[in-house]
Amino acid sequence: MKTHKKLRYERLIFVIVSILLLGFGISKIIAKPDPYKELKEVSEENKKAGEMINQFDEENEQQIRLFHYPQFESKEMNAKINEYVKALPKENGIALLDYESDELNQRYLSVVFHYQLMDAEKNVIKEEKQCISYDTEAKRDIKVTDVFRRDYYDMLREQFKKQANTTVKSLADITVTPHENTVKLYYKNAAIQLKYSDYQKYIKLAGKGENKKPLAIKRKLKIDPKKPMIALTFDDGPSVYTDEVMKVFEAHNATASFFMLGQNIQYYPDTVKHMVENGFEICNHSWDHKSIASDDQKFIRKEVFDTQDALYKLTGYEASYVRPPYGAWNETTEQVLEQNGLHVALWNVDSEDWRNRDKQITLSRAKEGTFDGAIILFHDLYPTTLEAVKELVPYLQNKGYQLVTISELFQYKGEKTGL
């Protein structure tokens, strides 16, 4: 009896010890440290917008992917983000994707991705940045020209050299993310930051530059891209006749473009404001009609950007197109304009209203030159031009033409349309 009790006792001890040992082994397995724990823990300090998605792929020991990226209410922004994440290559090593995100004015969304590839010892062997910024109102990517104005290009090149020791060779390769008090810019793997308050004359973004409240555009016409269209353009104003010219277009649900001299803007501020508010296009015709077909970049900048300043301070908008006086320009002119997001816009039909000062001759020349894609040149300086326009606008509409701005014409017909 004692022997059997002893055996049962020994067996019980064996079972208990076995269970304890087994439990200890399982706990050791369960408690095995996660080698990627530190990489999975990310700071939320600079993640100011969007909901963070965590994507961990550890099935292939040769290709570990630890991705963090945001999602927004904007489907378009999410599509851009998902396309970028999906396109990242599967490479041997530990791939880590982190990001910064922000939203400004409930309109501008921005994400800056930081991608790193590490070896097994977690040494970084590759890294890159990718910026995605999106305007949810305009439904397109945010461009440098949405944030900056005037002759900003030289300023940005100088700041990239100063802050990041980087030489910018192409404006098209710069990406931008606007924030509450600063704007960040990226060129390849270099980044700089500028305070709005330090660069007021260059800031175009609504509410951040010298004009805190751009005028509201009250009238916007619908365009049928399949129908013929013509752009009527007016040089050398504004003048005492400009308001009457605009009334003609408004009465016929049409629009036009005005290439203005900067020196005249101060005398007709209400006229220029009315242009913007009612969907006419404001364009640049230099400050005082001096030829800008010059090799003097400083002179060209003053003629063009003094006019841009006058328009911007008054309306919150500035011209996208410049018509050089006399239609004269050269490579230096083009370089100054193109570097700063501006383009030359000429014409392909000349009414010669400045020469003939005759209603019927002006009207006949305009009618004879009419075709789909025509850019007709007038000057809103003469009463005879006003009288000609009164007949021309309904005439062209009866012929089936839409009367559009020069930007709209270029959008649908291409910038090769002008001479």
CATH number of the domain that 76 lies in? 3.30.565
Domain boundary among 87, 112, 135: 135
Q: Are residues 131 and 149 in the same domain?
A: no
Residue 332 falls inside a structural domain: yes
Q: Specify the DSSP class assigned to residue 143.
A: P
410 shares its domain with 300 = yes
Cα of 249 vs its chain's centroid, Å: 30
pLDDT (0 to 100) of residue 206: 83
Q: Is residue 267 part of a domain?
A: yes
If asked whether residues 190 and 84 sit together in one domain, one would say no
- What's the pTM value of the predicted model, to 2 decimals? 0.79
Same domain, 66 and 110: yes
Domain count, the chain: 3
Q: For the stretch 22-56, what's the b/e string if a residue is b when 16 or more beta carbons lie within 10 angstroms of its beta carbon? A: eeeeeeeeeeeeeeeeebeebeeeebebbeeeeee
| 300/388 same-domain check | yes
Verify that 281 and 253 share a domain, yes or no: yes
Within this chain, do residues 247 and 396 fall inside the same structural domain, yes or no? Answer: yes
Backbone angles phi, psi at 107, to 5 degrees: -140, -45
Cα–Cα distance measured from residue 138 to residue 409, given in angstroms and rounded to the nearest whole number: 19
Give the helix ranges, DSSP H, for 148-279. Answer: 152-164, 242-251, 262-265, 269-277
pLDDT at 37: 76
Phi, psi of 352 (to 5 degrees): 50, 35
Taking alpha carbons only, the member of 169, 42, 151, 156 closest to residue 101 is 42
Q: Are residues 109 and 250 in the same domain?
A: no
Q: Are 249 and 373 in the same domain? A: yes
What mean pLDDT is reported for the chain?
91
Instruction: Report the amino acid identity of residue 335.
Output: Q
Q: Tell which residue, 151, 143, 188, has the closest CA to residue 335.
A: 151
Reported as a single tens digit per residue, the pLDDT across 236-264 is 999 999 999 999 999 999 999 999 999 99
Question: Are 80 and 126 found together in one domain?
Answer: yes
The pairing of beta strand 140-141 with beta strand 124-135: antiparallel
Backbone angles phi, psi at 131, to 5 degrees: -110, 130
Assess if residue 218 is contained within a domain: no
The 10s digit of each residue's pLDDT in 130-189 is 999 999 999 999 999 899 999 898 899 999 999 999 999 888 899 999 999 999 999 988
Of the residues 117, 135, 153, the one at which a domain ends: 135
User: What is d(CA 416, CA 271) in angstroms, rounded to the nearest whole number?
Assistant: 30
- pLDDT value for 30: 52
* Domain boundary pick from 202, 217, 241: 202
Is there a domain that residue 31 lies in? no
Same-domain status, 255 and 365: yes
Range of the domain at 182: 143-202
Q: What is the pLDDT of residues 304-363, one digit of tens each?
A: 999 999 999 999 999 999 999 999 999 999 999 988 889 999 999 999 999 999 999 999
The CATH number covering residue 322 comes to 3.20.20.370
CA-based nearest residue to 92, from 60, 128, 124, 127: 60
Give dist(CA 343, CA 323) in Å, integer.
Answer: 9
Q: How far apart are CA 94 and CA 96, in angstroms?
A: 6
Note whether 171 and 54 are same-domain residues.
Answer: no
| CA pair distance 86, 139, nearest whole angstrom | 22
SS3 (DSSP) at 259: strand
The average pLDDT across 261-269 equals 98
